[in-house]
Amino acid sequence: MEISLSRVHYPVSTLGPGRRVGIWFQGCSIRCPGCISVDTWRVKPAQTSVDQVTSLISPWLAECDGVTISGGEPFDQPLALHALLLSLSAFDKDVLVFTGYSTEQALQMMHGWDGLIDALVSGPFERHTPQTKPLRGSDNQRLTLLTARGTVRFSGYERLLRPEDRQLDLLMDADGTAWLAGIPRPGDMQVLQAWLAAEGHRATTTELSSTTP
């Protein structure tokens, strides 16, 4: 099964409990205003297969605490997502999936996928809606616990954000490119850009409002 991904990374520590494998899908048809991942919107031809991805990340899967799937929009590639989830199920790790579709839409698309997703964060990002809960960029987004494991692992996220909640992981690619994973709070990216600019560095986000030179 072919799949189009933006990136994979390990470890990610801001998108669920523990040290997690992060898998970002490429392509998003939802296009929320204010999305900070505009680079994942464009649909690109599938460049790999689920088998290849699973093989690549299997050393990480052996030792990680869980898997987070985000995007882009994972449900825009429903067959690839299902095949990936089936592959991941062999590793017996918790699986958290982010989607911009509503809970009802996502549950409909997940018909027959029982047990493959432990927790789902659903709903579009709304830039003018407050952000007071962990794992959510805006409070309209819902956390749904779909399995007993999901309840154990994620029910603690049904609370208000705390100052100590980590927001962003700084990750390095092999080519030296640094990028951030996580759910920034409003204004975080602008603050980061200002800090870096003060040190003589240039930072860009993929948010539409800040990508225009």
**Interface with ligand SF4, residue 50, by CB under 6 A:** no
Q: What is the smallest separation between the CB atom of 80 and ligand SF4, expressed in angstroms?
A: 16
Residues 7-26, one symbol each (x = binds ligand SF4 by CB under 6 A, - = not), give: --------------------
Q: Of 31-39, 89-97, 173-181, 183-191, which part binds ligand SF4 (CB under 6 A)?
A: 31-39
Buried-state track 33-58, b at ≥16 Cβ within 10 A, e below 16: ebbbbbbbbeeeebeeebeebbeebe
Residues 53-72, one symbol each (x = binds ligand SF4 by CB under 6 A, - = not), give: ------------------xx
Candidate residues 2, 7, 8, 30; the one interacting with ligand SF4 per rule CB under 6 A: 30
Distance separating alpha carbons of residues 82 and 121, to the nearest angstrom: 17
Task: Say how far residue 198 (Cα) sits from the centre of its chain.
Answer: 30
Distance separating alpha carbons of residues 78 and 3, to the nearest angstrom: 10
Q: What is the smallest separation between the CB atom of 72 and ligand SF4, expressed in angstroms?
A: 5
Distance separating alpha carbons of residues 78 and 110, to the nearest angstrom: 9
Candidate residues 60, 125, 154, 157; the one interacting with ligand SF4 per rule CB under 6 A: 125
Q: What is the smallest separation between the CB atom of 75 and ligand SF4, expressed in angstroms?
A: 9
Candidate residues 4, 26, 37, 77; the one interacting with ligand SF4 per rule CB under 6 A: 37
Phi-psi sector, 136: left (phi>0), alpha (psi -120 to 50), beta: beta
Q: What is the smallest separation between the CB atom of 131 and ligand SF4, expressed in angstroms?
A: 12
Q: Phi and psi at residue 85, in whole multiples of 5°?
A: -60, -40
- Residues 6 or more apart whose CB falls under 8 angstroms from that of 45 comprise 4
What is the binding site for ligand SF4 (CB under 6 A)?
28, 30-32, 35, 37, 40, 71-73, 100, 124-125
